[in-house]
Chain A
Amino acid sequence: MTGTHPVTQEEVMAWLDGELPAPRAAEIAAHVAACADCGALADELQSVSRRVAGWTVEPPPSELQAGAHGAIGSIAVTPHRRSRHRPALLAAAVAATFAVAILGPLALRPMHRDGQANAISVGLPAATPVPDLVYHDSLRALGYVSAAKGSQSSLAPPPADQRMIARTVTMSLTTERFDDIRTALERATAAEDGSVVSLSSGGEPRRRTLRATVRVPAARLEAALAAFRALGVLKHESLATDDVTDRYRDLTIRISNARVEEQRLVELLKTRTGTVKDVLDVEREIARVRGEAERMTAEAEATRNRATFSLVTLEIAETYRAELMPAPGDLPVLTRLRNAFIDGLGAAELSVVGVALAVAQFGPTLVAWSLLLALPIWWTARRLRAFVERS
Chain B
Amino acid sequence: MTDDELMLAFRDGRTDAFEELFARYRQPVWAFFRRRVDDPERARELAQDTFTAIVEAAPRYQPRAAFRSYLFGIAFNVLAAARRKASLRVVEPGADLAEPPAPASDPSDVIWVRQALAALDADDREILMLREYEALAYDDIAALLGLPLNTVRSRLFRARLALRDALIGHETGARR
Contact = CB atoms under 8 A, between A and B. Distances in A.
Contacts, number: 210
A48 interface: yes
Given A19-B138, A120-B64, A123-B57, A64 B26 contact: yes
A25 interface: no
Contacts of B114: 55
A134 B59 contact: yes
Contacts of A9: 157
A122 B78 CA distance: 10
Interface string B35-71: 1000011001001110111011101111111000010
Contacts of A286: 104
Q: Is the interface of B mostly helix, strand, loop or mixed?
A: helix
Query: In the complex, which of the residues B15, B30, B114 has the most CB atoms of chain A within 10 Å of its own CB atom?
Result: B15
A116 B60 contact: yes
Nearest to B63: A120
Given A10-B153, A17-B131, A74-B52, A124 B77 contact: yes
Contacts of B49: 125
A72 B55 contact: yes
A49 to B, nearest CB: 6
A298 B62 CA distance: 26
Interface stretch (A157-165, A172-180, A253-261, A288-296): A288-296
Contact of B34 (A58, A75, A123): A58
A171 to B, nearest CB: 13
A343 interface: no
A19 B137 contact: yes
Contacts of A328: none
Nearest to A198: B13
Interface string B77-118: 110010000000000000000000111111001101110010
B66 to A, nearest CB: 10
B57 to A, nearest CB: 4
B55 A119 contact: no
Contacts of B104: 56-58, 283, 286-287, 290
B105 A124 contact: no
Given A14-B153, A130-B59, A125 B101 contact: no
A302 B21 CA distance: 11
B16 A311 contact: yes
A49 B132 CA distance: 7
Contacts of A115: 59-60
A298 B110 contact: no
A37 interface: no
A268 B100 CA distance: 24
Contacts of B78: 124-125
A291 B26 CA distance: 10
Contact of A67 (B22, B40, B61, B70): B22
B32 to A, nearest CB: 9
Contact of B21 (A68, A69, A211, A215): A68
Given A49-B132, A52-B113, A64-B26, A125 B15 contact: no
Interface in B10-36: 13-16, 18-24, 26-27, 30-31, 34-35
Contact of A116 (B62, B70, B103, B128): B62
A51 B113 contact: yes
B56 A130 contact: yes
B20 A280 contact: no
Query: In the complex, which of the residues A122, A280, A295, A306 has the most CB atoms of chain B within 10 Å of its own CB atom?
Result: A122
A120 B113 contact: no
A134 B61 CA distance: 15
A136 interface: yes
A58 B102 contact: yes
Nearest to B154: A10
B132 A64 contact: no
Interface of B: 13-16, 18-24, 26-27, 30-31, 34-35, 40-41, 44, 47-49, 51-53, 55-57, 59-65, 70, 73-74, 76-78, 81, 101-106, 109-110, 112-114, 117, 128, 131-133, 137-138, 144, 153-154, 156-157, 160, 163-164, 167
Interface of A: 9-10, 13-14, 17, 19, 44-45, 47-49, 51-61, 63-65, 67-72, 74-75, 78, 81, 115-120, 122-126, 128-130, 133-134, 136, 166, 197-198, 200, 211, 213, 215, 279-280, 283, 286-287, 290-291, 294-295, 298-299, 302, 305-306, 311, 313
Given A13-B157, A51-B167, A302-B16, 6 more contacts: A56-B31, A57-B30, A58-B102, A117-B60, A299-B23, A306-B16
8 contacts: A60-B30, A68-B18, A70-B48, A71-B52, A75-B55, A124-B74, A125-B52, A198-B13
